[in-house]
């Protein structure tokens, strides 16, 4: 009996792992399909503004209606939870922050890090826990090179569609993975697709986290070329802006446009008199949670 239950336990574990592997693989494929479908959409998506991230990493693109029903507009959340939910920094200074989501990805993250080092720019990376566990050296490199590490969930679900408890597990398990790599417990959390409920924001605030979305969407997840990415960024750029880009993606997602755009973006921002800063510098808050 003892042996049997042990074997059963092992089988169950094996099944759980293969399920996890299968679902993440499937997620990436669906993600690529969603990206293609979204790319085929008309310009209507662009006009929606920064209400939803559709970076196609998990493939679960939040539906506009249901997401809206559960969550508030970002501007409302920023007003209701000052300092705990952020879409942009102070408009009084010509400072902007570069943020890169869905890292680490061995295909693109090293290239982005190389460019940032060449131009002496420090950025903020929103790390997916499962990806960090698979490529810990890349997260260590980000930290070593002076970049800020943020929490972008364990496997990129739509927070507004999962329970508060499931969302807490996403954050805490990622925190557990990131702590030894970053050397601190990251304060900044970016919910996948920017989707989050007020109750989830409240729990994060209580835990000393700061939720950070963006007011400038490069839309680079659509595998755009560098010209299109720069046009998208210039559209809503202003002092205090938080710029969303990706340095990691799903299978079939091509971020070479992001890599090519980065040196041009840095030169453009500097020519317009902007200083490129990290989120702690833009928001006046440390990279780590209080006391962690
Ligand atoms: Zn993402």
Q: Ligand 1 center to residue 123 CA distance, Å?
A: 16
Tokens 């890349």: give the residue. 138
Q: Where are the domains of the chain?
A: 73-283
CA 41 to chain CA centroid, Å, is 23
E-assigned strand segments in the chain: 85-86, 95-103, 124-127, 148-151, 188-189, 210-212, 216-217, 242-246, 275-277
* Architecture category of domain 73-283 in CATH: Alpha-Beta Barrel (3.20)
Longest dimension (CA), the chain: 73
- Residues with a catalytic annotation lie at 101, 246
Q: Does the pLDDT value for residue 156 go beyond 80?
A: yes
Strand partners, 211: 85, 189
Distance 116 CA to ligand 1 centre (A): 20
Q: Are the beta carbons of 188 and 287 closer than 8 angstroms?
A: yes
Higher-confidence residue of 165 and 51: namely: 165
Average pLDDT, the chain: 83
How far does the centroid of ligand 1 lie from the alpha carbon of residue 80, in Å? Answer: 24
Please tell me the distance between residue 291's alpha carbon and the centre of ligand 1 in angstroms: 27
pTM score of the predicted model: 0.79
What average pLDDT score do residues 29-53 get? 34
Note whether 262 and 117 are within 8 A (CB). Answer: no
Structure tokens, 234: 């210039």
pLDDT level of residue 177 (50, 70, 90 thresholds): very high
Cα-to-centroid distance, 11 and ligand 1 (Å): 32
pLDDT tens per residue across span 215-244: 999 999 999 999 999 999 999 999 999 999
Tokens (6 digits) for 97: 């922050």
Ligand 1 center to 212 CA (angstroms): 12
Residue 137 in tokens? 């050296």
Of residues 20 and 258, which shows the higher confidence score? 258
């Amino acid at each position: 009996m003892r042996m049997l239950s042990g074997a059963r336990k092992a089988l169950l574990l094996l099944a759980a792992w293969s399920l996890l592997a299968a679902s993440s693989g499937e997620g990436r494929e669906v993600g690529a399909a969603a990206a293609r479908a979204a790319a085929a959409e008309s310009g209507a998506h662009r006009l929606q503004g920064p209400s939803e991230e559709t970076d196609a990493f998990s493939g679960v693109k939040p539906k506009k209606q249901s997401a809206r029903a559960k969550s508030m507009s970002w501007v409302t959340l920023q007003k209701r939870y000052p300092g705990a939910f952020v879409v942009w920094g102070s408009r009084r200074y010509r400072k902007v922050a570069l943020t890169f989501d869905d890292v680490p990805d061995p295909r693109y993250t090293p290239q982005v890090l190389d460019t940032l080092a060449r131009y002496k720019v420090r950025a903020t990376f929103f790390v997916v826990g499962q990806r960090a566990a698979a490529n810990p050296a890349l997260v260590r490199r980000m930290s070593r090179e002076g970049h800020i590490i943020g929490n972008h969930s364990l496997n990129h679900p739509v927070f507004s569609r999962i329970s508060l408890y499931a969302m807490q597990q996403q954050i805490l398990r990622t925190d557990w993975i990131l702590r030894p790599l970053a050397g601190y417990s990251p304060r900044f959390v970016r919910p996948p697709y920017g989707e989050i409920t007020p109750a989830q924001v409240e729990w994060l605030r209580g835990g000393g986290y700061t939720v950070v979305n963006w007011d400038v969407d490069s839309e680079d997840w659509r595998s755009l070329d560098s010209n299109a990415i720069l046009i998208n960024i210039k559209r809503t750029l202003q002092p205090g802006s938080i710029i969303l880009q990706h340095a990691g993606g799903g299978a079939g997602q091509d971020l070479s446009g992001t890599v090519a755009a980065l040196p041009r973006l840095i030169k453009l921002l500097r020519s317009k008199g902007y200083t490129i800063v990290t989120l702690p510098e833009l928001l006046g808050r440390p990279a780590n949670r209080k006391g962690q």
